[in-house]
Amino acid sequence: MNGAESLVKTLLASGVDVCFANPGTSEMHFVAALDAHPQMRCILCLFEGGATGAADAYFRMTGKVAATLLHLAPGFGNGFANLHNARKARSAVVNIMGDHASYHLAYESPLKGDTAGISRVVSHWTKTCEAASFVAVDGAAAVTAAQSMGGQIATLILPANTAWENADAAAVSAAPAALRRPTIDRVRAAAQTLQTKGASLMVDGLALRGSLALLAAKIAKKSGCALLAPFFVSRIQRGAGAVKFQRLAYVVEENSAVLKDQTSIVLCGAKRPANFFAYPGKPSLPEPAGCAIYDLCEPEMDYAWTLHALADELGAHHITLGNEELQPLALPALPSGAMSLQKVGEAIAALMPENTVVVEEAITSAGAMALATRHARPHDWMMIKGGAIGGGLPMSIGAAVACPDQKVLCLSGDGSAMYTLQALWTMAREQLDVTVVIFSNRGYQILRGELANVGVTDVGRNAVRMLDVAEPTLDWVALAKGHGVAGIRVRDAGEFVSAFQGAMKQKGPFLIEVMC
């Protein structure tokens, strides 16, 4: 067995059986090894950002590590933006990056680059294999590193000679170290704080869905505090039966308004809220002056245990939740007439099936979608947690591979979708059940607003030409067709309803371009 084979066996033995790949020359032995192990599902992406975004979403939906296979430094660079999103989402991802044979690095070849350097900028864990006989142990350590601290980016650099030289047995990843916990004294102090006037509990991560979200809601109800969640989430449960969170906002003033009556914020698995960007004369932080921040449990600590301990302390476990805390089911009527974002949202709310996985990168169109769907059938909602554009289409790949029996709905701005449109091809190749809705406003709509925010209202040619995606307008139906995905352009609400109804009834990829 060579090093590459020992790595594939190690990944499989460690529970990693999906690999989103965009290989190059230096990874050919690894490709050969994958070829000999059909139990590893290899999914080709035509751009590395597709592979990294897919691995991120795969983890968010399954809690399982996927591998990516990336070409040496520039290839990793292509995957960087979605690794940034994955890092912020605390997703566990193992990247396998090829490199030149170690002895070849003495010479200047075109593709020689700083593989470890670019990895370290975004990975929590980076290791360059030193010999074929170490590949198995290093691969197992990469899986453990990815699974540690609640989810990390681990990158194993595989010089070509460590892939082709002889190796011994495969290895199996060890369980990650136990997560740190706050002291019980700190839990008690937090429980006291939560019962004071104007207190709030802010959660994130796994506490935005399922039993942990319900537990957080019980804690909030018992203690009488507000229950906060960030604006950018990795994955949140929404629709009927989902916990009502007070979500923070993107716009500075709206963010401040959400927190205006808070006297304290207890953080449990959440980072201290901060505005997305700073602006002249506006605050970086959304909470009012004097609001106390109580950092009970960092996101990389054991916030599940901590929520249970808080509930114990407050006697909240047996609280009954009702309409005050949970979203009702209330489906809107199907809209008709002229196009509006609200109507698109209503149609989606009325028609999307239970357990739809919504991948949302719709930026300025997102608010209307979120509002309209809050009482829809139960569904999951994912966002670009790191704010890096180009996550939506790739994440949809990962979600669909993770959840083959659930409909994936990708809501994307046209500007955003252009960053990684190659992901459409992988949807066609793998016949993934993804409906893509492109909001075609022919520009970076959010930047038009941001330019006004910095005081420019009389816009000239240079600015218009940097913020508009027009002249020519993109034709998303043609772009989809080019990648092997069928699509339709819709101009009014009735056309959208008809197209979306059809998409919900079929399996496989389909694209709807909404002219808005």
Positions 32 through 51 that interact with a copy of itself (CB under 8 A): 32, 34-38, 40, 42, 44, 46-47, 49
Tell me the CA distances in angstroms from 381 to 27, 58, 234, one per residue in order.
35, 14, 8
Residue with smaller CB distance to a copy of itself, 106 or 333 = 106
Q: CB burial class (10 A; 0-12, 13-18, 19+) of residue 293?
A: middle
- Please pick, from the candidates 16, 61, 118, 357, the single residue that binds a copy of itself as defined by CB under 8 A: 118
The minimum distance between CB 3 and a copy of itself, in angstroms, equals 12
Q: Which of 131, 321, 331, 469 binds a copy of itself (CB under 8 A)?
A: 469
Residue in 11, 18, 348, 446 binding a copy of itself, rule: CB under 8 A: 446
Distance separating alpha carbons of residues 252 and 254, to the nearest angstrom: 6
Distance CA 125, CA 122 (A): 9
CA 242 vs CA 304, 345, 360: distances in Å: 18, 18, 18
- Phi/psi class of residue 144: alpha, beta or left (left: φ > 0; alpha: ψ in -120 to 50)? alpha
Check residue 456 for interaction with a copy of itself (CB under 8 A): yes
Among positions 227-246, residues that touch a copy of itself (CB under 8 A) are: 232
Give yes or no for a cis peptide into 472 (omega within 30° of 0). yes
Interface with a copy of itself, residue 104, by CB under 8 A: yes
- Count residues binding a copy of itself (CB under 8 A): 108
Question: Does position 121 bind a copy of itself by CB under 8 A?
Answer: yes
Tokens read off for 21: 């790949």
**495 touching a copy of itself, by CB under 8 A:** no
Applying CB under 8 A, among 447, 494, 504, 515 the residue interacting with a copy of itself is: 447
Going across the sheet that includes 510-515, the strands are: 236-238, 379-383, 356-361, 408-413, 434-440, 510-515, 487-490
In the list 10, 85, 95, 173, the residue contacting a copy of itself (rule: CB under 8 A) is 85
Nearest to 208 by CA among 177, 182, 184, 231: 231
Q: Contact region for a copy of itself (CB under 8 A) — 77-85, 259-267, 310-318, 332-340?
A: 77-85
Torsion angles phi and psi, residue 11, rounded to 5: -60, -45
Q: Least distance from C-beta 110 to a copy of itself, angstroms?
A: 3
How many angstroms separate the CA atoms of 335 and 342, rounded?
9
Q: How far apart are CA 248 and CA 496, in angstroms?
A: 30
CB nearer to a copy of itself: pick between 239 and 299: 299
**Stretch of 156-164, 306-314, 316-324, 343-351 lying at the interface with a copy of itself (CB under 8 A):** 156-164
As measured in angstroms, the least distance from the Cβ of 124 to a copy of itself is 13
Residues in 157-216 that interact with a copy of itself by CB under 8 A: 160-161, 164
Considering the complex, what minimum distance in angstroms separates the CB of residue 131 from a copy of itself?
15
Check residue 293 for interaction with a copy of itself (CB under 8 A).
no
Q: Which is nearer to a copy of itself, 168 or 475 (CB)?
A: 475
